[in-house]
Amino acid sequence: MQYVAIFAKVHDPRCQKVASELIAWLEQKGCTPLVDPHLTASLGYPRELSEEEIRDQAEMVVVLGGDGTLISVARLFSGRDVPILGVNLGSLGFLTEITLEELYPRLERCLKGDPRVSDRMMLEVTVYRDGKQIEKNNVLNDMVINKGALARIVDLETKINRHILTTYKADGLIISTPTGSTGYSLSAGGPIIHPQMNCIAITPICPHTLTNRPIVVPDESIISVTVTSSHDEKVYLTLDGQVGFKLQQGDSIEVRRALKTTALIMSRSRDYFEVLRTKLKWGER
């Protein structure tokens, strides 16, 4: 691999220090670092590229920071089959599971063409208003419909493959990938799903009817959610916790499996169940 992109949590001094060392290491290996423009400004790195130029040229991506930073990078590279190496400089992440101690040995193997990659399914989220498409995005984790701070519960008519599931009366609704099952969905009582499963989880947020439980459907399902609450209710759509906008009564959100996946480079020293035990502190008193 010749072109390696570097993205980092730029406001974290630790990330800036590691990024500087990583740039020098890659150059010594004969690679060309493609540095995130925000990081370029912080480090004073001379070779400045736009995010679009980096996306088009990169053969591999290194992300320094937490899961949120990696998710934003995954959205940028959606549509390109580029492996992403997530390095967490703090506590272990569900997505950024590579530690700083593992970084350079892992990079050595990747540059030799021996990455251990986990292909993660994504969701394609399309928003329709008055029968017209107004928004379309891919997400790695989840899409969330929720009410405003002072709003009453919202009504969300939900169909699967055009068959009515129910009209949720709740604070909101989460539709997540297996990767996103350990995010907001888990906090709302949703199931933990192994990231290699092919399915979609639907989790209501504080449903008015207590028998409305999370449900897992096949990944070929097409899920449609229509906002049926009155005009004076404030309802919002959030994608991967980073992109969002206000919905109106009658807006319809269609969710299906995206054609593209996100390739995450995994640790060779731990498995998914060790990550679960560590992050969720299972077995600790």
Catalytic residues: 67
| Virtual torsion, Cα 77, 80, 83, 84, nearest 10 deg | 0
Q: Which residues, in sequence order, are CB contacts of 120 under 8 Å at separation 6+?
A: 140, 177, 178, 179, 195, 261, 262, 263, 264
**CA distance linking residue 189 with residue 215, whole number of Å:** 11
Strand order in the sheet with 172-176: 215-218, 199-205, 172-176, 142-147, 235-239, 243-247
**CA distance linking residue 172 with residue 46, whole number of Å:** 46
Cβ atoms of residues 202 and 185 within 8 Å: no
**CA distance linking residue 86 with residue 64, whole number of Å:** 6
Cβ atoms of residues 245 and 148 within 8 Å: no
State which amino acid sits at residue 240. D
Helix (H/G/I), strand (E/B), else coil: 179: helix
Sign of CA dihedral 42, 47, 50, 55: negative
DSSP annotation of 181 reads: G
Cβ atoms of residues 168 and 152 within 8 Å: no
